[in-house]
Amino acid sequence: MVYHIPAMPEKCIEGLSIRPDGIYVDATFGGGGHSREILKRLKTGKLIAFDQDEDAAVNIPGDSRFIFLNQNFRFLRNNLKFNGIESIDGLIADLGVSFHQFDEPERGFSFRFNAPLDMRMNKEGSTTAADLIRKSDEAGLADIFYEYGELVNSRIIAKEIVAAAKKKPIVSTDDLVSAIGSLAPVRQEHKFYAKVFQALRIAVNHEIENLKEMLLQSLEMLKSGGRLVVITYHSLEDRIVKNFMRSGNFEGILKKDFYGNPEVPFRVMNKKGIIPDKEELATNSRARSARLRIAEKI
């Protein structure tokens, strides 16, 4: 089984503008596809890779220029400094869930399999999706589905889940699908379930908070001229990345100096973002929602 196929690998590597003696970070190691491409272009440089999922360790390349850290990328700065690195030439982050996580039923990321409702990217994490549902009230669940799944009927979804949980604890993926099955739009069931599962996954793994932490620390660690390369998969995280690259904050508010000139930390290299072409989608349909953004630190 393929661990993961990275989206737009050539465009990502081109976006990093790799120097053979540079220091680079792969913030989402996964199957190691981007890391292997970076290593091909390094001579005396270094590559530091992060992944909070211990399963990713099976993909570590045997290379003295490579350091693997089984850590969440929100701890970017401290881990780099612990390894004697004060600045970097580039960072890549592919924010998608790896194929391995989606395709291993026991991880509970997909509604395609009946499995424990887990969804933890770090298996040592204390809270599963089942725990989150059990501990949350109706209003809390509605907020999760509205904010992280962008579901306009979030209150109704939450109400159905809470009602179902009173009759029988929701501990599996099938339990959750059964609880909300009557709300799934005809011929759009998969899209509906995907949004519900996405919302719970984001909440379980604190993905938005972690992303913001990583972006702020990447700005601090990147050298002038260093590249930030990020692949997003849904509008919520894409908006955060786009705003940050354009303005240096997550609201997209442009700050100006005394003379009215915008004070921005990055030069945005692709204003609309890059999407996969038809040829790539023919061999990797899971890349269809990917959007690549590249920025260079000023």
Average pLDDT over residues 252-261: 93
Per-residue pLDDT, 188: 96
Domain-embedded: residue 35: yes
Q: How confident is the model at residue 109 (pLDDT cuts 50, 70, 90)?
A: very high
Q: Count CB atoms within 10 A of the CB of residue 126.
A: 7
What is the structure's pLDDT at 2?
A: 78
Residue 235: what pLDDT?
95
pTM of the model: 0.95
Would you say residue 1 has pLDDT above 80?
Answer: no
Beta-bridge partner residues of 23: 46
CATH number of the domain to which 18 belongs: 3.40.50.150
Give the pLDDT of residue 101.
93
Structural domain span for residue 162: 112-205
pLDDT at 282 over 90: yes
List pLDDT tens digits, range 57-108. Answer: 999 999 999 999 999 999 999 999 999 999 999 999 999 999 899 999 999 9
Are residues 117 and 64 both part of a single domain? Answer: no
Let me know whether 170 and 236 are in one domain. no
Following DSSP, what letter does each residue of 57-82 receive, concatenated? GGG----TTEEEE-S-GGGHHHHHHH
pLDDT digits 0-9 by tens, 114-167 = 999 999 999 999 999 999 999 999 999 999 999 999 999 999 999 999 999 999
Domain boundary among 153, 170, 205: 205
Domain of 149, CATH number, reads 1.10.150.170
Q: Do 189 and 228 share a structural domain?
A: no
Predicted confidence (pLDDT) per residue in 201-246, tens digit: 999 999 999 999 999 999 999 999 999 999 999 999 999 999 999 9
Q: Are residues 201 and 122 in the same domain?
A: yes
CA dist., res. 233 & res. 243, Å (int): 15
Q: Letter for the amino acid at 182?
A: S
Which of 154, 187, 205 corresponds to the end of one domain?
Answer: 205
- Whether residues 178 and 35 share a domain: the answer is no
Residue 273 gets the label, from left (phi > 0), alpha (psi -120 to 50) or beta, of left
Our count of domains for the chain comes to 2
Q: Same domain for 190 and 220?
A: no
